[in-house]
Amino acid sequence: MPRGDKSSYTDKQKRMAEHIEEGYEDRGVSHKEAERRAWATVNKETGGGKKSGSGRGKAESHASARKGGRKGGASQTHAQRSAAAKKGWETRRKRGSA
């Protein structure tokens, strides 16, 4: 079986990879890189192709999915955060509670 052959993966694993890939592309990752990351995630969660062999029936770990849901980007830009800090400092200075 050549490298990159996906015939040993179940339909569910292929759907998982497609869905993960779309998520990466929505965040601006190139198609090729998104596909590579998606299959790496599927392999990590499910332990590789499940159709045949001794790997069948092993438990799946969804740790990466949990991590992805918890890991977040900043809701404010650096400039917005800095402006808010300056505004707060001015308010505290004026009120004398600094």
What are the structural domain ranges in the chain?
A: 8-50+63-68
Share of the chain above pLDDT 90, in %: 48
Distance separating the N- and C-terminal Cα atoms of the chain: 69
Q: How many whole angstroms separate alpha carbon 29 and alpha carbon 1? A: 29
**pTM of the prediction?**
0.61
Structure tokens at 85: 């800090």
pLDDT, tens digit (0-9, with 9 covering 90-100), for 32-59: 999 999 999 999 988 888 777 665 667 7
